[in-house]
Chains A and B, each alone.
Chain A
Amino acid sequence: GRAATLFFLLTTLCITTTASISGAGPTTAPTTTTPPAIPLLGYGSPPTPAAGHFFSIPITLDPQNQPLAAYQLELTAAHGTFQVVGIENAPNLPAFPNPARYDRTTAHPDQSLDRLILADFSLAPPEDLPTEPAVIATIHAYAVPPQPLTHPTPEQLTQALGLTATLTQAANPQGQPIPATVTLSKPTP
């Protein structure tokens, strides 16, 4: 009786261990220094090994002292893997409260090199439109540089990827083009 019980327990343990290793059974608890507090209501999954870097890039547009009512720009990378995972709104521009619209295409069939077109417009009164350099959007992206980098900064990744922003058009409230410039950095104070 006791031997049979012990045999049953050992068999169950072996099966559970094998299923956990093969991934066929219920997901295993995450590897963590603190044991998970809710073994019933929640469940962990093995973390995926990191292969690239998540980073964010501010895009600064300088309207050259003219009221900025609309803009369109293009963001491209030349090397490695560059995939946009978020477009954040301008932090300090009440005239542009929401994240910019986008159109995304890919330069490569494997979807690894995004080409992003950003555009936005504002119907705010002209006196509320930005006239000085300001961050109009922050791009959140995932990148794998062509050469491995250890703990790269966003600037290092920008350079390694050959990331460029090209302003297609900027306009004032009357719809007239204005001579604005765009850079992939925060505005210089």
Chain B
Amino acid sequence: MTRRRSLTAATLALLTCASLAIITACNTGHDQTGLQTGIDGEGYVGRRDAYFYSDQGGEPGVRPHFGLTDALKQNRPDGGDSFVTPITPSPAPEPAASPPQSPADWPALNLRRLGGPEQSIDHENTPNPQPLPTASAAPGEELWIISTPPQGDAASAASSPAEPAPESGALLALPQPKPAADPAAPRTTDLPTHIPTETVPLPLKHTDVRAAITGYLATVDVTQQFHNPFDTKIEAVYVFPLPQDAAVSEFVMTIGDRKIRGLIREKEEAEKLYAQAKAQGYRAALLTQQRPNIFTQKVANIEPGKAIDISIRYFNTLAYAHGQYHFVFPMVVGPRFNPPHTEDPITPIAHGTNPTTTGTTTPYLKPHERPGNDIALTVHLNPGVAVQSTTSNSHPVTTQPQDDGSLHITLANEATIPNKDFVLSFKVTGDRINSGLVTHTTPEGKGYFSLMLFPPDDLDGLTRQPMEMVFVLDCSGSMSGKPIAQAKAAIKHALQQLQPTDTFQVIRFSQDASAFGPNPVPATPENIAKALTYVDGLKGSGGTHMIEGIRAALNFPHDPKRYRTVTFLTDGYIGNEQQIFAAIHKYLSDARIFSFGVGSSPNRYLMNRMAKAGRGAAAYLALEDDATAIMDFYFQRIAHPAMTDLKIDWGTLNVADVYPQRLPDLFVDRPVILTGTFTGTPSTVQVTGRAGPYNLLINPVTEANPATTAGPELAQVWARRKIADLHDQLAHTEDQDAVRHQIKTTALSYSLMSNYTAFLAVDTTEPTSGTHGVTVPVGLPVPDGVRYDTTVPE
């Protein structure tokens, strides 16, 4: 054998060994069953926080009046809600059995657990925890579950072919990849699922979520129960998500019967006071914001065996799309990729390692480790009109009707692992939502309004222009497995919906970006067949340099005869969101961006802001969603021209500080929500716009009645939107200090969390003994479907 051949053989052998070593060490996340609606109902991305009017109890109310040209009247559909297609949910899956707990000793921890598993923890009058059973696997041993292939009818009904039976000793071997029977069918991950077996004691014992939905506003109370199961004093640090438009307005620390309300302060000041309190031994809690959807909770000086509860209240408005409202509660922050020089990065690390980077770190548990905390969630649903149906395809729930007509919905499994977003969708009876104005006036006479604009039905009958479709697929490591399989299935279905007059391009990005061809190509059958093969070959690995994808998708000449639509499919696990928004602002031109959040816990803040910056809309594709159905909805939306060039005649209302400042387009079945302040009395408001060659007119309902009057929360909703708009300006404004000051001032005035304000509570009654103890971060589960080995550096 020649020297070159021997070197090549050695290299191949080395790579093979390395690959096997990596593969044997990896696991997929815990496999959850059940569908998820996966649709973000926002008509205008990032603007979900508003009230809107609907007919009550079947009364006709006042309908919007459409002024149409004669040509449009000829195309008017006969009627019926043609653009609302119900999603038929799958039967709710069986609740997962609780996995075995860890043994009494945790050798990975040098902290001695108080008295072993039988020791009760003093919760000062709260119930003692149950003792933990022994484990069925030794610490550190991975437990592989090889699923058996389905038999008979179940096999034919299965969406993917049966797995080949593993050979002897195949527990540590990679199963042979199976060929997909249908190129358009989503491929499951190549790795077998497993169930985490080792429970890791963490300072967070339990999270309790109670949501009350009244009308279309959700008020949510989140209580985090921290405790100290160790033998020395600790500070707990917990990084967690909330909805990106959540107006966080209350913060209470509870120690036994005592409740201490925290105050909102400038962030630096709050951090300084917290550090002082911690150093002097006082029990203290600090809540800071790193992103609109990522927060850090710190609780200092928790004594051994003691507990401290932290309660947060926020509210937001529900999204609406395709005839349904959607309540979303995110449960875990996904592992982010931070390109070099990312400001304030969010860095994933392995739980148990010391952070060595600046910014925020998210410590992830290994696949065989189960967090010692769980989550309980209840939703009290009382929208003010009869509820026709409720669905949660993300988690099994139980629904109990109440005497007053409301519904009480709870998670069916009390030992739910918080590793995927909770999504509850519900449909109300009665006529469809109408455009309308909702107002609130403070005792001091300041008025706040919310205007919801619903696109006219007649947009459905209009034909669309030829399109230039650009698909951009995230091929980074976090997309590996189920997420990229879903995204590829969606793209392949979309390619087959194109018309011959359309052109298309497919771009992939991870460490860099590359494309199907040098330029968009006509959507001929031959080109589409080649593109399907190209998409089939794409895999997930490497970092997430999304900026490369943005540039590749937008920074090339636009075909003036076609309507450019850029569709991003990504989980959004990046830390440089602001850089992305700046790039979109720079390169957008006449294009429109539609963002698909893929996976069980996508970065919804990024998805919504990208679509907002790109004058498009966001949608979500969960792991077990029907990708073709989601894509059909999407094509229904973009296949009809939006109502563009919106102009509003406010009549006798004197409005100011209206957000969004630039009026967005109206897509079919996607409302747009504006908020602002006003003086005067609302009378007639008219909205005009264009749809292709047609002129359109909407007259929203403005008459004052109880349905159009909102509570004082509307003021904070408006303030939250103002803060979000100011934050967007940071991506492209030169006067950063002035914008930051405005954000800070607004947040302090309305007692809201922001990047520059924080909540602080200190119990100064008496300091705890000893020093401030050791900081213990709360380990996080990797989101369902995300691979630990490709996303968390060791």
A positions within 8 Å CB-CB of B: 25-26, 30-32, 34, 36-45, 47-52, 54-56, 83-89, 91, 97-100, 102, 104, 111, 138, 140-142
Cross-interface CB contact of B109 among A41, A44, A140, cutoff 8 Å: A41
Tell me the count of chain B residues lying within 8 A, CB to CB, of chain A. 53
Cross-chain contact B276 with A48 (CB below 8 angstroms): yes
Cross-chain contact A87 with B110 (CB below 8 angstroms): no
Within the complex, the shortest CB–CB distance from B20 to chain A, in Å, comes to 28
Within the complex, the shortest CB–CB distance from B239 to chain A, in Å, comes to 15
A86-B760, A89-B260, A140-B764 known; 14 new pairs, CB 8 Å cut-off, are A30-B771, A32-B771, A37-B231, A38-B110, A40-B353, A41-B111, A47-B772, A52-B276, A56-B765, A83-B265, A87-B260, A138-B765, A140-B260, A140-B761
The interface centre, meaning the residue of A25, A41, A45 with most chain B CB atoms within 10 A of its CB, is A41
Q: Which residues of A contact B272 (CB under 8 A)?
A: 48
Cross-chain contact B112 with A37 (CB below 8 angstroms): yes
Asked whether any CB of chain A lies closer than 8 Å to the CB of B253, the reply is yes
Cross-chain contact B276 with A142 (CB below 8 angstroms): yes
Which residues of B, 231-266, contact A by the 8 Å Cβ criterion? 231-232, 234, 252-253, 257-266
Within the complex, the shortest CB–CB distance from B666 to chain A, in Å, comes to 39
Which residues of B, 264-304, contact A by the 8 Å Cβ criterion? 264-266, 269, 272-273, 275-280, 282, 284
Q: Which residues of A contact B761 (CB under 8 A)?
A: 85-86, 140
Cross-interface CB contact of B230 among A25, A37, A49, cutoff 8 Å: A37
Q: Is the interface of A mostly helix, strand, loop or mixed?
A: loop
A42–B771 alpha-carbon span in the complex (Å): 15
Asked whether any CB of chain A lies closer than 8 Å to the CB of B356, the reply is yes
A81–B726 alpha-carbon span in the complex (Å): 32
Q: Which residues of A contact B354 (CB under 8 A)?
A: 26, 40, 43
Within the complex, the shortest CB–CB distance from A33 to chain B, in Å, comes to 8
A25–B358 alpha-carbon span in the complex (Å): 10
Cross-chain contact B263 with A54 (CB below 8 angstroms): no
Which residues of B, 338-364, contact A by the 8 Å Cβ criterion? 351-356
Q: Which residue from chain B places its CB closest to the CB of A55 in the assembled complex?
A: B764
Are A47 and B279 also in contact (CB < 8 A) when A85-B760, A88-B259, A99-B261 are? Answer: yes
Q: Which residue from chain A places its CB closest to the CB of B112 in the assembled complex?
A: A37
Asked whether any CB of chain A lies closer than 8 Å to the CB of B733, the reply is no
Asked whether any CB of chain A lies closer than 8 Å to the CB of B762, the reply is yes
Q: Which residues of B contact A34 (CB under 8 A)?
A: 232
A88–B255 alpha-carbon span in the complex (Å): 11
Asked whether any CB of chain A lies closer than 8 Å to the CB of B774, the reply is yes
Cross-chain contact B356 with A26 (CB below 8 angstroms): yes
Asked whether any CB of chain A lies closer than 8 Å to the CB of B8, the reply is no
Cross-chain contact A54 with B230 (CB below 8 angstroms): no
Q: Which residues of A contact B232 (CB under 8 A)?
A: 34, 36-37
Asked whether any CB of chain A lies closer than 8 Å to the CB of B499, the reply is no
Those 6 A-B pairs whose CB atoms lie nearest each other, nearest first: A99-B261, A47-B279, A42-B774, A54-B764, A85-B762, A86-B260
Q: Which residues of A contact B253 (CB under 8 A)?
A: 86
B positions within 8 Å CB-CB of A: 108-112, 230-232, 234, 252-253, 257-266, 269, 272-273, 275-280, 282, 284, 351-356, 760-765, 767, 770-777
Cross-interface CB contact of B764 among A47, A50, A100, A141, cutoff 8 Å: A141
Q: Which residues of A contact B259 (CB under 8 A)?
A: 88-89, 97-99
A88–B272 alpha-carbon span in the complex (Å): 21
Cross-chain contact B111 with A37 (CB below 8 angstroms): yes
The interface centre, meaning the residue of B260, B272, B273 with most chain A CB atoms within 10 A of its CB, is B260
Are A89 and B276 also in contact (CB < 8 A) when A26-B354, A37-B112, A42-B234 are? Answer: no
Ordered by A's residue number, 6 sampled pairs between the chains whose C-beta atoms are within 8 Å are: A37-B231, A37-B232, A40-B354, A55-B764, A56-B765, A89-B260
Cross-chain contact B252 with A99 (CB below 8 angstroms): yes
The interface centre, meaning the residue of A85, A102, A138 with most chain B CB atoms within 10 A of its CB, is A85
A50–B262 alpha-carbon span in the complex (Å): 21
Cross-chain contact A41 with B351 (CB below 8 angstroms): yes
A56–B352 alpha-carbon span in the complex (Å): 37
Q: Which residues of B contact A30 (CB under 8 A)?
A: 771-774
Within the complex, the shortest CB–CB distance from A94 to chain B, in Å, comes to 11
Cross-interface CB contact of B261 among A37, A45, A83, A87, cutoff 8 Å: A87
Q: Which residues of A contact B771 (CB under 8 A)?
A: 30-32, 47
Are A85 and B277 also in contact (CB < 8 A) when A40-B110, A54-B762, A104-B263 are? Answer: yes
A52–B277 alpha-carbon span in the complex (Å): 10
Within the complex, the shortest CB–CB distance from B302 to chain A, in Å, comes to 12
Q: Which residues of A contact B231 (CB under 8 A)?
A: 37
Q: Which residues of B contact A31 (CB under 8 A)?
A: 771
Cross-chain contact B355 with A43 (CB below 8 angstroms): yes
Are A42 and B775 also in contact (CB < 8 A) when A26-B356, A52-B276, A86-B761 are? Answer: yes
Are A41 and B261 also in contact (CB < 8 A) when A52-B276, A54-B762, A142-B273 are? Answer: no
Q: Which residues of B contact A141 (CB under 8 A)?
A: 764
A148–B352 alpha-carbon span in the complex (Å): 43
Cross-interface CB contact of A86 among B764, B773, B776, cutoff 8 Å: B764
Q: Which residues of B contact A32 (CB under 8 A)?
A: 770-771
Q: Which residues of A contact B266 (CB under 8 A)?
A: 111
Within the complex, the shortest CB–CB distance from B368 to chain A, in Å, comes to 17
Within the complex, the shortest CB–CB distance from B350 to chain A, in Å, comes to 10
Cross-chain contact A54 with B277 (CB below 8 angstroms): yes
Q: Which residue from chain B places its CB closest to the CB of A39 in the assembled complex?
A: B110
Within the complex, the shortest CB–CB distance from B265 to chain A, in Å, comes to 7
Within the complex, the shortest CB–CB distance from A78 to chain B, in Å, comes to 20
The interface centre, meaning the residue of B276, B282, B351 with most chain A CB atoms within 10 A of its CB, is B276
A90–B278 alpha-carbon span in the complex (Å): 25
The interface centre, meaning the residue of A51, A84, A88 with most chain B CB atoms within 10 A of its CB, is A88
Q: Which residues of B contact A89 (CB under 8 A)?
A: 258-261
Are A86 and B263 also in contact (CB < 8 A) when A37-B230, A42-B775, A56-B765 are? Answer: yes
Q: Which residues of B contact A37 (CB under 8 A)?
A: 110-112, 230-232, 774
Q: Which residues of A contact B257 (CB under 8 A)?
A: 91
